[in-house]
Amino acid sequence: MANQALDWGKLDFSYHKAEYRYVSNYRNGEWDEGCLTTDDQVVLSECAGVLQYAQTCFEGLKAYRTVDGRIVTFRPDLNAERMVNTAKRLVMPPFPKERFIDAVRQVVKANQDWVPPYGTGATLYLRPYMFGTNPVIGVKPATEYQFRIFVTPVGPYFKGGAKPISLCVSDYDRAAPRGTGHVKAGLNYAMSLYPLEEAHRSGFNENVYLDPATRTKIEETGGANVLFVDRDGNLVVPKSGSILPSVTRRSLTAVAEKFLNRKVIEREVLISEIKDFVECGLCGTAAVISPVGRIVDHDTEILFPSGMEKMGPVTQQLYDTLTGIQMGRLEAPEGWICEIC
Ligand code: PLP
Ligand code: COI
CATH number at residue 272: 3.20.10.10
Residue 222 lies in a domain: yes
- Residue 177 pLDDT more than 80? yes
Centre of ligand 1 from the C-alpha of residue 286, in Å = 8
**Dihedrals phi, psi of 137, to nearest 5 degrees:** -115, -40
Report the pLDDT value the prediction gives residue 4, as an integer from 0 to 100.
66
Q: What is the pLDDT of residues 76-96, one digit of tens each?
A: 999 999 999 999 999 999 999
Domain boundary among 154, 180, 195: 154
Q: What is the pTM of this model?
A: 0.98
Residue 331 lies in a domain: no
Distance CA 83, CA 251 (A): 18
Q: Is 127 in the same domain as 188? A: no
- Residue 134 pLDDT more than 90? yes
Residue 125 belongs to what domain range?
3-154
- Residue 119 pLDDT more than 70? yes
Q: What is the pLDDT of residues 202-221, one digit of tens each?
A: 999 999 999 999 999 999 99
Question: Helices (DSSP H) in the chain: which residue ranges?
Answer: 49-53, 76-89, 97-110, 186-190, 193-201, 247-258, 313-326
Domain boundary among 117, 133, 154: 154
Centre of ligand 2 from the C-alpha of residue 248, in Å = 11
* Contact predicate 206/195, CB 8 Å: no
Residue 333 lies in a domain: no
Q: Is 220 in the same domain as 88? A: no
Q: Is 142 in the same domain as 273? A: no
Q: Is 60 in the pocket of ligand 2 (CB under 6 A)?
A: yes
Q: What is the pLDDT of residues 285-329, one digit of tens each?
A: 999 999 999 999 999 999 999 999 999 999 999 999 999 999 999
Q: What is the pLDDT of residues 264-291, one digit of tens each?
A: 999 999 999 999 999 999 999 999 999 9
Residue 336 lies in a domain: no
Report the pLDDT value the prediction gives residue 160, as an integer from 0 to 100.
81
Q: Is 227 in the pocket of ligand 1 (CB under 6 A)?
A: no
Number of structural domains the chain divides into? 2
Q: Is 133 in the same domain as 60? A: yes
Q: How many residues does the chain have?
A: 341
Report the pLDDT value the prediction gives residue 6, as an integer from 0 to 100.
92
Report the pLDDT value the prediction gives residue 2, as an integer from 0 to 100.
61
Centre of ligand 2 from the C-alpha of residue 285, in Å = 6
